[in-house]
């Protein structure tokens, strides 16, 4: 297995842990935002500081994500590492918030680890594909995705039952788009981390990253931590995979598809197990 690919996957796991634990910290203290301007009052500053720490940790995942993408050259594999990152959130829920792990949570963890590990291995072994795309195709595809997610968010504001899941999926789609756009920037540049900054894609990716933060916080206000976050991770895993097909015409190996399904099932089990009661 290529050493660069292995380093890329390890950086992807680090980024995923930072992203998930950071989101867990945000959910832990999301209530401070409901105080409005009083969040800056002395009695609320500690909670606000903890919430901001969660933002910083999650935002800091951008660097290892970008480096992992550059080394692995596989956005779908790097995004799949978010399944492993979900374990970090589960540990945070148990150690900090005091939730117990149920049977469904344990099964979900096993499925997530198995699915992401095998999917990463298959990504390393697959034949390299010449990645080319038309800017117009990319723009039209992204606009269609944005309109679809916006419609879902409008519905979720009216239907409380789907609020957490919908805004979680929206946040995950935004992060998945950001990861894919980072890869597009590499293709349009000389392939270096600094060269992609000369293209518009990284800056659009930053915009989607900001939208992901907003969508996550809105989801947390009325949704549970492990209702929102598994939805985020599912969308992060699947969005680049779908975009690779539509934009690069790069189909995943048939052997990958069952493990994608395993990851989704594992994330679903985590969202319905004992840990789903986190900050309910």
pLDDT at 186 (0 to 100)? 74
> Using CA atoms, how far apart are residues 168 and 232, in angstroms rounded to an integer?
5
Per-residue pLDDT in tens (0 to 9) along the chain, 280 residues: 578 888 888 888 898 889 888 888 888 888 888 888 888 888 888 999 999 999 899 888 888 887 887 787 776 677 667 667 777 877 887 777 666 677 777 787 778 777 776 766 665 555 455 666 677 888 898 999 999 999 999 998 888 777 888 898 899 899 889 888 877 777 777 655 566 667 788 888 889 988 988 898 888 887 777 677 777 877 877 788 888 888 887 777 777 788 888 877 877 776 665 544 443 4
Burial class (CB in 10 A: 0-12, 13-18, 19+), 147: exposed
> Using CA atoms, how far apart are residues 102 and 108, in angstroms rounded to an integer?
10
Q: How far is Cα of residue 171 from the mean position of the Cα atoms in its chain?
A: 7
Give the tokens for residue 238. 């699947």
> Using CA atoms, how far apart are residues 207 and 75, in angstroms rounded to an integer?
18
pLDDT at 123 (0 to 100)? 59
The single residue listed with the structure tokens 């990253």 is 209
Q: How many domains does the chain have?
A: 1
pTM comes to 0.72
> Which DSSP category does 224 fall into?
-
Q: Which domain holds residue 217?
A: 3-277
3-state helix, strand and coil shares in percent for the chain, rounded to the nearest 5: 85, 0, 15
Q: Encode 193-211: b = buried (16+ Cβ within 10 Å), e = exposed.
A: beebeebebbebbeebbeb
Q: Are the C-beta atoms of residues 256 and 119 closer than 8 Å to each other?
A: yes
């Amino acid at each position: 297995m290529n050493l660069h690919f292995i380093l890329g996957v390890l950086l992807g796991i680090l980024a995923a842990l930072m992203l998930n634990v950071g989101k867990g910290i945000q959910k832990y203290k999301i209530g401070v935002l409901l105080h409005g301007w009083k969040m800056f009052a002395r009695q609320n500053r500690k909670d606000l500081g903890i919430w901001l720490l969660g933002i910083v940790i999650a935002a800091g995942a951008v660097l290892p994500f970008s480096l992992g993408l550059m080394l692995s050259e596989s956005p779908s594999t790097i995004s799949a590492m978010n399944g492993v990152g979900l374990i970090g959130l589960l540990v945070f829920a148990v150690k900090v918030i005091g939730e117990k792990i149920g049977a469904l949570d344990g099964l979900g963890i096993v499925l997530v680890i198995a699915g992401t590990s095998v999917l990463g291995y298959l990504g390393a072994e697959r034949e390299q594909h010449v990645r080319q795309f038309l800017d117009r195709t990319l723009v039209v595809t992204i606009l269609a995705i944005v309109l679809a997610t916006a419609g879902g968010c409008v519905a979720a504001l009216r239907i409380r039952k789907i609020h957490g899941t919908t805004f979680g999926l929206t946040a995950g789609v935004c992060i998945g788009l950001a990861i894919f756009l980072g890869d597009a920037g590499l293709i349009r540049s000389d392939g270096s981390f600094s060269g992609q900054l000369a293209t518009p894609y990284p800056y659009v990716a930053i915009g989607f990253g900001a939208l992901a933060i907003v969508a996550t916080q809105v989801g947390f206000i009325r949704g549970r931590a492990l209702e929102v976050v598994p939805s985020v991770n599912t969308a992060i895993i699947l969005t680049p995979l779908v975009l690779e097909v539509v934009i690069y015409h790069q189909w995943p190996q048939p052997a990958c598809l069952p493990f994608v399904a395993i990851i989704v099932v594992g994330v679903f089990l985590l969202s319905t197990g004992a840990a789903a009661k986190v900050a309910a």
